[in-house]
Amino acid sequence: MRVTVDTEVAAPAQAVWEVVTDPARYLHIMDGVTRWELAGGPERGLGARYRMLMRVGSAEVGGLVEVVEFHEARELAWHSVTGIDQRGRWRLREPTPGRTRVELRLTYGVAGAGVFGWLAERVAEPIVRGHLRRSLAQLKRQVEHDELRRAAAQRRGARRSA
């Protein structure tokens, strides 16, 4: 099953990138994710491995994931190493300066489970889609708040130096 959600954030791509590449912030921005912890490799970037779990109904599903693509302020992708079969991707594009289109994509499946796996994927889809939508709303809120704080600090600094 593939779920894709997107939004536009009133901030430069680099500001969004700082948040989506910081594993310490995942539990704050990723709705439904109950675990996102370093499990090997570098803390960030290509080859980083994380133990991740997402609550889907009464179950926590996930496993070990590894970052397989890392293009500065553009794309970050991960694939599962163990656990449920999954691939995720953050895509950032700046259609106009200071505004970033953010896409979050998650493809998941229950390998070799036949009809029951297909049914489980269909039942989980609205739950996963809701988690991803709320995650983007939380990301948008956090990044835009950080940008407002930065702008206010710059204004205060400009007044002090004047």
pLDDT value of position 121: 72
User: On the CB side of 81, how many CA atoms lie within 13 Å of its CA?
Assistant: 13
pLDDT value of position 106: 95
Q: Which two tokens stand for residue 54?
A: 């997402």
Domains of the chain from N-terminus onward: 2-156 (3.30.530.20)
- String of b and e for 95-108 (b: at least 16 CB within 10 Å)? eeeeebbbebbbeb
- String of b and e for 142-161 (b: at least 16 CB within 10 Å)? bbeeebeeeeeeeeeeeeee
Q: What is the pTM of this model?
A: 0.87
pLDDT tens digits for range 27-55 = 999 999 999 999 999 999 999 999 999 99
Separation CA 27–CA 32 (nearest Å):
8
CA 102-100-106 angle, 5° bins: 5
Residue pair 46/70 in contact by the 8 Å Cβ criterion: yes
Residue pair 97/2 in contact by the 8 Å Cβ criterion: no
- Asked whether residue 80 carries a pLDDT value surpassing 90, the answer given is yes
- Asked whether residue 92 carries a pLDDT value surpassing 90, the answer given is yes
